């Protein structure tokens, strides 16, 4: 109760302090805002906006319902979520944060997910996109394309493990305590006897019914998708600019230096290089700054620790991404705390996987070339990055469909002592 009473006055004092620092450092604040705006316009807008529009269109056409029925045999046993979560996972991993949260919120609004299922889904579908991980981080920041393999294994492998762990989230609650927000869009559950072509017919019927329920023409669907996507991308841009200015003000006030020293001391006590404190603290707030700082750490720091710090930053996501996800989840009934816990677990899992896999991967001689050549500031060109992302999406969905088909085949294998 005391924290709740003091929350608003404390926030007001902090905001007043930020305003005072902005008045004392107007030029620095403007430069930081322009840097954030440049990142949003040059990188985030061209890379995220098309995926926002495409995902909205796919929901209207019932494509998500199609994949939901096809992927249900895979997603329920592994992650304890409906098959539509497989489509969300593929889109989230390919296009990066916060697309997974956006699609999860849309499925929740349509009544396709319960609250617990939505919290499970958004927890492990919020990740970095492969273009940024391979092109910007590995090549642009570390100048070493071969690091892309171990970063991808640690980051996406950690996300998979988080998904398995989150399958236990909310089981003690039994039936969902919060009903779906809207019943009309509720998906049909495929029967256990639906196999092979029967499941395909069910998937096609679910797609047709979803399209019929939506009822909008293609023009209306495109207009609504563009409008809602513009609103979201503007919110994302505003948060990016805000956190860039906030970090600059904290740096001017000496707060960042204090955080660097404190984190460096903790790292030293844990037996890790203290020079990584800049990367971790910067990454606590913003992904790009943290990953860049990890690549630019002192030459005396072993490379595996630099890569582990970058993996930690990529999996944590930064408070900027957290604010984006929180704004998307607002009004859906999905809680932020499970997402926060999952980000922390993912961060430490990814860093640990880098250190665990370092010798096996580096000694094997395997490497991975970047998907696209980095452009200015280590980012790939938006057009080539978008095309590569679409190819990644196709491969992920094809792999998921194949695994779902194999799960169906395994279920049909007779077990000893089991009555047919």
Residues 314 and 317: their CA atoms lie apart, in Å, by: 5
The answer to whether residues 321 and 161 touch, using CB atoms and an 8 Å cutoff, is no
pLDDT digit string, tens, across residues 122-154: 998 988 888 888 878 888 889 888 888 899 999
Provide the pLDDT for residue 193: 43
Please work out, in degrees rounded to the nearest 5, the angle formed at the alpha carbon of residue 66 by the alpha carbons of 62 and 70: 165
The answer to whether residues 312 and 355 touch, using CB atoms and an 8 Å cutoff, is no
E-strand ranges in 15-127 read: none
The enclosing H or E element of 419 equals: none
The answer to whether residues 151 and 138 touch, using CB atoms and an 8 Å cutoff, is yes
Whether residue 369 has pLDDT greater than 70:
no
Asked, as a colleague might, if the bond just before 204 is cis with ω within 30 of 0, I would say no
pLDDT digit string, tens, across residues 222-261: 999 899 889 888 988 888 888 889 888 888 888 889 999 9
Please give the structure tokens belonging to residue 344. Answer: 């922390």
Provide the pLDDT for residue 374: 42
pLDDT digit string, tens, across residues 33-74: 998 898 888 877 887 888 888 888 888 888 888 888 888 888
**Which has the higher per-residue pLDDT, 408 or 380?**
408
Share above pLDDT 90 across residues of the chain, in percent, rounded to a whole number: 28
Residue linked to tokens 């029925």: 69
Q: Which one, of 61, 127, 42, 121, lies nearest residue 93 by Cα?
A: 127
Please count the CA atoms within 13 angstroms of the CA of 388 that sit on its side-chain side. 18
Provide the pLDDT for residue 366: 58
DSSP percent split of the chain into helix, strand, coil, nearest 5 = 75, 0, 25
Residues 118 and 105: their CA atoms lie apart, in Å, by: 8
pLDDT digit string, tens, across residues 325-359: 999 998 888 999 999 999 999 999 999 999 999 98
Question: Concatenated DSSP letters for 45-70?
Answer: HHHHHHHHHHHHHHHHHTHHHHHHHH
- Strand, coil or helix: 10: helix
The enclosing H or E element of 400 equals: helix 382-412
pLDDT digit string, tens, across residues 311-324: 999 999 999 899 98
Whether residue 289 has pLDDT greater than 60:
yes
For 28, counting Cβ atoms within 10 Å of its Cβ (0-12 exposed, 13-18 middle, 19+ buried), the class is: middle
Residues 44 and 354: their CA atoms lie apart, in Å, by: 27
Residues 210 and 253: their CA atoms lie apart, in Å, by: 54
């Amino acid at each position: 109760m005391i924290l709740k009473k003091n929350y608003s006055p404390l926030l007001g004092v902090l905001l007043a302090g930020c305003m005072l620092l902005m008045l004392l450092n107007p030029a620095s604040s403007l430069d930081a805002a322009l840097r954030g705006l440049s990142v949003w316009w040059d990188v985030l807008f061209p890379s995220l906006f098309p995926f926002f529009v495409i995902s909205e269109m796919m929901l209207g056409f019932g494509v998500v319902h199609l994949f939901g029925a096809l992927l249900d045999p895979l997603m329920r046993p592994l992650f304890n979520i409906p098959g539509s979560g497989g489509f969300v996972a593929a889109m989230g991993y390919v296009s990066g944060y916060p697309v997974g949260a956006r699609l999860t919120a849309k499925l929740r609004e349509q009544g396709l997910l319960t609250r617990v299922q939505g919290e499970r889904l958004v927890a492990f579908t919020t990740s970095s996109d492969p273009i940024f991980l391979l092109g910007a981080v590995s090549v642009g920041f570390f100048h070493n394309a071969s690091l892309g393999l171990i970063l991808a294994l640690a980051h996406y492998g950690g996300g998979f493990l988080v998904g398995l762990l989150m399958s236990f989230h909310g089981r003690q609650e039994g039936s969902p305590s919060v009903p779906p927000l809207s019943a009309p869009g509720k998906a049909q559950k495929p029967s256990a006897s639906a196999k092979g072509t029967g499941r395909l017919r069910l998937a096609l019927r679910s797609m047709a019914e979803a399209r019929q329920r939506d009822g909008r023409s293609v023009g209306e669907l495109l207009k609504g998708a563009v409008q809602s996507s513009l609103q979201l991308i503007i919110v994302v841009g505003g948060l990016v600019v805000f956190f860039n200015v906030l970090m600059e003000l904290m740096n001017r006030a000496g707060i960042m230096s204090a955080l660097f020293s404190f984190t460096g001391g903790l790292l030293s006590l844990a037996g890790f290089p203290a020079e990584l404190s800049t990367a971790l603290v910067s990454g606590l707030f913003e992904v790009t700054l943290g990953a860049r700082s990890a690549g630019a750490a002192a030459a005396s720091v072993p490379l595996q620790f630099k890569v582990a710090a970058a993996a930690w930053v990529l999996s944590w996501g930064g408070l900027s991404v957290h604010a984006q996800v929180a704004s998307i989840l607002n009004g859906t009934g999905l809680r932020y705390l499970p997402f926060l816990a999952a980000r922390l677990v993912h961060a430490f899992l990814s860093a640990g996987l880098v250190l665990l896999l370092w010798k096996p991967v580096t000694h094997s001689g395997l490497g991975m070339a970047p998907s696209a050549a980095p452009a200015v500031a280590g980012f790939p060109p938006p057009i080539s990055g978008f095309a590569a992302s679409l190819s990644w999406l196709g491969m992920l969905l094809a792999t998921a469909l194949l695994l779902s088909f194999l799960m169906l085949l395994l279920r049909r294998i007779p077990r000893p002592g089991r009555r047919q």
